[in-house]
Amino acid sequence: MRKLVLAASMVLLTACAAPQQEQINFMPKAALSSSDLVKGSTFTLSSKDVRASQYVALVDSGRSNIEPIHSKQNVRIAIENALAAQLESQGFRNSLDSDNSVAIEIQETLVSVKHSVMENEMNATVILELTAENSQGKLVKTYTGTAKRTGALSASNEEIAVVLNDVTNLVLTEISNDRELKNYMQERF
């Protein structure tokens, strides 16, 4: 019994001493509207993350070593919360029992980073699919944001986070400004 407790203690101490994987801050900002599109129309918001992998960045240092970096925050929840704030700023009200539904599907949120000691190149892609639906019909739209950034020296995690957040914010702004989506929701919700 004593040997078992000693072995379990060793395993726990080894796990605590293991290096922690690096993570970046993923904090998308809602594109808030200054005027109401509607007054109190309700919607039910749902989200789904269908990305093949859960990391948000792949860092290739050129030494046959590609390192995935994850987000400190849950990507699906962060995007859902930003979208909910956007729609509420337009006058819609999030409800659990509405006949109107808005679903956001996260298809990709990724920054590919290639860097050496002297320079770095970051390519970011964010793809979100939004579905607005009720008994009167359904509208499905895909929003894609891309960016390419180069810089001197190696890319830091903070720089990677800035690129990912900026591209995500651009996609959220595109959703907020989409005239077809606004008209659809205004007429049918």
pLDDT computed for residue 19 by the predictor: 46
pLDDT at residue number 75? 95
Q: What is the pLDDT of residue 6?
A: 52
Considering its fold, how many domains does the chain have in total? 1
Does the residue 11 lie in any domain?
no
Quick check: is 4 in a domain? Answer: no
pLDDT recorded at residue 161: 94
**Position 128 in a domain:** yes
Question: Which residue do the tokens 């594109």 mark?
Answer: 31
Amino acid 18: pLDDT: 43
Q: Bridge partners of 130?
A: 104, 141
Distance CA 46, CA 76 (A): 10
Closest CA to 25 of 66, 74, 67: 74
Q: Mean pLDDT, consecutive 10-residue segments, the chain of 189 residues?
A: 56 49 88 79 93 91 83 95 93 89 96 85 95 92 94 84 95 94 88
Is 35 within the bounds of a domain? yes
- Establish if 12 belongs to a structural domain: no
CA nearest to 87, candidates 166, 184, 168, 155 = 184
pTM of the model: 0.83
Q: Are strands 57-60 and 66-71 parallel, antiparallel or unpaired?
A: antiparallel
The whole domain housing 121 covers 23-188
What was the pLDDT predicted at 151?
82
d(CA 165, CA 26): 6
Token pair, residue 189, equals 């919700």
Residue 44 within any structural domain of the chain: yes
**81 occurs within a structural domain:** yes
Q: In 24-133, where does DSSP find H-type helix?
A: 75-89
CATH code assigned at 161: 3.40.50.10610
Nearest partner of 75 among 181, 168, 187, 189, judged by Cα: 168
